Structure 1
Amino acid sequence: MQSAPLANETLGPRDGGVPAFNFILQPEFPLNALVLASETLRIANQNSGRELFRWRFVSEDGAPVRASNGLWMSADDSLQTMPTADFYLVFEGNLPMQRNSPKLLNQLRTAARFGAAIGAVDTGAFALAQAGLISGRQVVLHWEAVPTFRERFPDIGVNGQIYLIDGQRLTCAGGIATLDMMLDLIGRLKTPTLASEVANALVYAPRSAETPQRLDDASGPALKPALADRIVALMERNLDFPLPLDDIAEQLEVSPKTVLRECRRSFDETPMRLYLRIRLQAARNMLFYEEFGIKDVATACGFSYPSVLSRTFHAQFGMTPRDFRASLRRQQNQAYRPEVRRLSITPPALNTA
């Protein structure tokens, strides 16, 4: 269920003025989420025939930012020059902590202190956690990054729904869920009728905040997940201390033979082989999103020694965990400020005089 707003927390300008948004773009941000967030506001203005919302695109230094799909997005302002806003939404990328600068975290704290709503899209929740802005609250972020987030911030509760508006904190799983959250905001700040008009313009049927990100997280008799989904979900919840087959069967209230039969039918794998693949994928995600030590990754994903992780990881992905991360970082660094990199590798012109 959606958390109730804390006392004295209201959304939008207190003077009844035009709600203003600062969309803060971090390197490798999800472009699809940004487009949906800005388009909802643009369509609301267009359909009403007047300026109901304002928004600005913000980067660390005001320079263009590269999205996760390789396209570059121009910024209107830097963190230093951005105007005061009612909403600050952080659009985060695949390195959710390395590029969250002290300047960004201080700006978020300052904005929160002066009554602004602070939000995060996709992995932007890492910035809110680093800034100390979501202590004692639940948070929503993309399900792939959840194991990494829990490892870094074990005291912050993670919710599996698509977005959460908790007083003046807004967190969202990203992707299409960004559209759902923005439509909810438009309905709260203006009218539900306007939100419906925007949804119709985008040919979209809005979902409630409580909608689970994944089908295997659904609950209730009508949405009871299939046994295969329940097996995977149970394994994903128990990465650090893998369960034996008998315990898996007991928790799922079926026989071990049923688990074995379902794994062979749905995945063409034995339960333990499937479990290993899930743990390796979790290790890969941790290497992708964060700079955990190999020993920490091994422990979090249920491998007794780093060497065991390295050997099984290499068998699955064709390279060691260290090589995988080094290759990934090289690709990301080459995409970050390519004009600087080009200058650094261009040989000086020969003096032919």
Structure 2
Amino acid sequence: MNVLSLSQRGLLIVDDDGVFTLSFLLLPEYSMMSLLSITEPLRIANRIVGKEVFRWQCLSENGKPVTASNGMALEQSIHIDACSTPKNLFVNASFRPEKYTSDVCVKWLRNLDRKSSVIGAIDTGCYALAKAKLLDGYKVTLHWEAKPAFQERYPYLNVSDELFKIDGNRITCAGGTAASDMALYFIEYYCQSEVADLVCEQLITNGTRHHADRQRPSFSKKLNLHHPKILKALELMDANIETPLATVQIANLLSISIRQLERLFLQHLKVSPSAYYLRLRMEHAHYLLSDSGLSITEIALACGFCSTAHFSRRYRAFYGKTATQYRLLMRA
């Protein structure tokens, strides 16, 4: 099986022996699924090609095994100070990334950047890179569930909904099975596309997704809806959470009457437009309470509520507990 010249650059940096080493800095509660979703396709590619094209290593801040979000820990991890400068480094995180990003980690990442390493992130690893100020001016992606909180925390960063994003020497990935798509992209880039197809066969998957594919299904697919006016209304609502549009504004933007808009929602979704809009705002608040360090007052404002008291009443009516109770439960 032929392999393209491994001296070419553009994605990853090759080692002196012609092999690409991917290093993964594991933060506590990282996503093990994301890690395995990257390394397994690379392992299979090596076997198909008949030589080592890719290798990988796991790093930790203290050299000890890191417990993943599933409660398991890999036996081996290398202390970041005992590792020669990683050429291709990915921060792998998941839950509570801000809590686990230390000043030592930030300093180490900045040092890597000065040495021109490729620096990436998986799932919520973008938090560590953002704290180190290594994402300014780059377009990035991360897991859709963490995106609202991340955008509230770093509103000046350019965040996309793509499965993975390559922007210069920054490579970010939404995690989960999107990590396999990124690995297959590397395989196709550095090996024949036939190799990537054979890896897909081994993984029993139908093929790769394009990096620009959306992480979440569209409203049309998720709700099995095809009415253009309702779909446009839902898109407008989803894009205007912090400053909600009035029903009359949505109707005007759709060039229909309020009465017609309400009739369409009742017919297809069994609720009024305002009720569905409130559900979207409550779901947004739920994610922010789970994944961000924003105060409840800040979350209320981010979800379009003019007062914390109003938000708290709505949240309790929707979820059966107060926002404060839910946050305490998540942090227990």
TM-score of the aligned structures, taking structure 2 as reference length: 0.88
Contact 1:287 1:325 in 2 (8 A): yes
Query: Structure 2 matches for 1:19-30, cutoff 5 A?
Result: 19-30=20-31
Contact 1:94 1:288 in 2 (8 A): no
The aligned counterpart of 1:311 is 313
Shift of 1:226: 5.4
Q: Distance in 1 between matches of 2:292 and 2:252?
A: 34
- Residue identity over aligned pairs, in percent, reads 35
Shift of 1:81: 2.4
Q: Could you tell me which of 235, 245, 248 is aligned with 2:247?
A: 245
Q: Distance in 2 between matches of 1:295 and 1:184?
A: 42
Gaps of 5+ in 2: 1-8, 221-225
Q: Secondary structure at the match of 1:21?
A: strand
TM-aligned CA distance change 1:253 to 1:81, over 3 Å:
farther
Contact 2:86 2:117 in 1 (8 A): yes
The aligned counterpart of 1:48 is 49
Q: Distance in 1 between matches of 2:300 and 2:124?
A: 22
Q: Secondary structure at the match of 2:235?
A: helix
Q: Secondary structure at the match of 1:184?
A: helix
Query: Structure 2 matches for 1:160-171, cutoff 5 A?
Result: 160-171=161-172
Question: What is the identity, as a one-letter code, of the residue corresponding to 1:63?
Answer: K
Confirm or deny that 1:199 pairs with 2:194. Answer: no
The aligned counterpart of 1:291 is 293
Contact 2:241 2:303 in 1 (8 A): yes
Q: Distance in 1 between matches of 2:138 and 2:227?
A: 28
TM-aligned CA distance change 1:213 to 1:260, over 3 Å:
same
The aligned counterpart of 2:188 is 187
Confirm or deny that 1:276 pairs with 2:310. Answer: no
Q: Deviations over 1:142-174 (max 9, x none)?
A: 222222111111111111221111121111111
Confirm or deny that 1:106 pairs with 2:121. Answer: no
Contact 2:150 2:292 in 1 (8 A): no
**Aligned-residue CA RMSD in angstroms?**
2.4
TM-aligned CA distance change 1:11 to 1:244, over 3 Å:
same
Q: Distance in 2 between matches of 1:225 and 1:24?
A: 46
The aligned counterpart of 2:6 is none
Contact 1:119 1:170 in 2 (8 A): yes
Q: Secondary structure at the match of 2:201?
A: helix
The aligned counterpart of 1:129 is 130
Query: Structure 2 matches for 1:1-353, cutoff 5 A?
Result: 11-13=12-14, 15=16, 17-204=18-205, 205-216=207-218, 227-330=229-332
Aligned length: 319
Q: Distance in 1 between matches of 2:133 and 2:178?
A: 24
TM-aligned CA distance change 1:217 to 1:136, over 3 Å:
farther
Contact 2:65 2:77 in 1 (8 A): no
Q: Distance in 1 between matches of 2:287 and 2:72?
A: 23
TM-score of the aligned structures, taking structure 1 as reference length: 0.83
Shift of 1:256: 2.8
Q: Distance in 2 between matches of 1:158 and 1:86?
A: 24
Gaps of 5+ in 1: 1-7, 219-223, 331-353
TM-aligned CA distance change 1:43 to 1:234, over 3 Å:
same
The aligned counterpart of 1:339 is none
Contact 2:38 2:179 in 1 (8 A): yes
Contact 1:19 1:53 in 2 (8 A): yes
